Structure 1
Amino acid sequence: MRSPYSHPQQLIMDLEADYSQLTRARSRIRQWLTGCGAVDGVDEVLLVVHEILANAIEHGNDGSGGHVEVRLRWEEQKVSIHVRDQGKAPDPPQVVPAQEAGECGRGLAIVEALAHSWGATTQRRGRSVWATLTCGPGGQELRRAA
């Protein structure tokens, strides 16, 4: 993992498109959110980032290794997540019914259940998947981000 650039409201990470980066990314994001003062909603943010990042690594990799950019912004109890890959997947990501005994296919259903909103944008080289969640200081009742 390359060194992330961060300041109190934003975190940017340029990661190798490799599953080994998932644990490091979650650890760095937890540390950053804690530094921002977030307590409630942190686990949900981490799960959504994990699912979107895993999808970017699996489906957004064009076979040449490549990188995935992860951007988070925290503002007024709202976290915006953007994950950009370098792949050439032709179809937009979509929630599909998971097989009952299957190990795959639940990622975007989890994102949809936890995020206030999410979506994807296809670019000339790659795709960005984004989500918005509520995350704030402890002891407050949080509602999904508006």
Structure 2
Amino acid sequence: MKRRFSGDLKAPASARSFVIGQLEAALAGHAEAWTGDVVLVVSELVTNSVRAGAGHIDVDLRADARRVDLKVADDAPGWPTPRTAAYDDLDGRGLAIVDELAHRWTTSPGNPGKSVTATWFRAGS
């Protein structure tokens, strides 16, 4: 399921709510195994899009019992670049969080903008 959000300060919270609802609908009672990591990752990616100046942000979530795919696409200029945040930095950890929590993640160019796709696999799949 895909949903478009305006690139404003409400977008991260709205995207989190959307993802929670979609996981619960798709996984009927088994969403708790995925929810925490997926919600944190969508929050980080949408926040990055807002900070980059996106006019709109598309969140696409595909989930079944074996796998969850989360794609966040925006129309903002620039490319997501991981960086190392100092201990007392207030930002710079978003992609490190994605890297730590997702089993796999990729970036793709858009026209305009770009997308980041994060994937999780159920153990044994």
- Same topology, TM > 0.5: yes
Q: Does 1:109 align with 2:102?
A: no
Q: Deviations over 1:21-57 (max 9, x none)?
A: 2112211211221122222121110001111111111
- The amino acid that maps onto 1:27 is S
Q: Which residue of 1 aligns with 2:77?
A: 88
2:120 is matched with: 133
Give every structure 1 segment of 4 or more consecutive aligned residues whose post-TM-superposition deviation is greater than 3 Å: none
Task: Give me the TM-score of the superposition, normalised by structure 1.
Answer: 0.76
Gap runs ≥5 in structure 2: none
The question of whether the paired residues in 1 share the 8 Å contact of 2:15 and 2:46 is answered with no
The C-alpha deviation readout for 1:94-115, integer Å capped at 9, x for no partner, is 2211111011011100000011
- Match of 1:56? 49
Per-residue CA deviations over 1:32-84 (Å, capped at 9, x if unaligned) read 211222221211100011111111111252xxxx2111101013331101111
In the alignment, which residue of structure 2 is the partner of 1:7? Answer: none
Q: Which has the higher helix share?
A: 2
Does the CA-based 8 Å contact 2:68-2:120 persist in structure 1?
yes
Q: Which residue of 1 aligns with 2:24?
A: 34
Gaps of 5+ in 1: 1-10, 135-141
Within the alignment, does 1:15 sit opposite 2:2 as a pair? no
Task: Give the secondary-structure state (helix, strand or coil) at the position aligned to 1:93.
Answer: coil
Shift of 1:130: 0.9
State how many pairs are aligned. Answer: 122
80-89 or 21-30, which deviates more: 21-30
The code of the aligned residue for 2:58 comes to E
Q: Aligned with 1:103: secondary structure?
A: coil
| CA distance in 2: counterparts of 1:35 and 1:117, whole angstroms | 23
The question of whether the paired residues in 1 share the 8 Å contact of 2:76 and 2:113 is answered with yes
Task: Provide the rounded CA distance (Å) in 1 between the counterparts of 2:67 and 2:42.
Answer: 14
Match of 2:87 in 1: 100
The answer to whether the 8 Å contact 1:85/1:128 transfers is yes
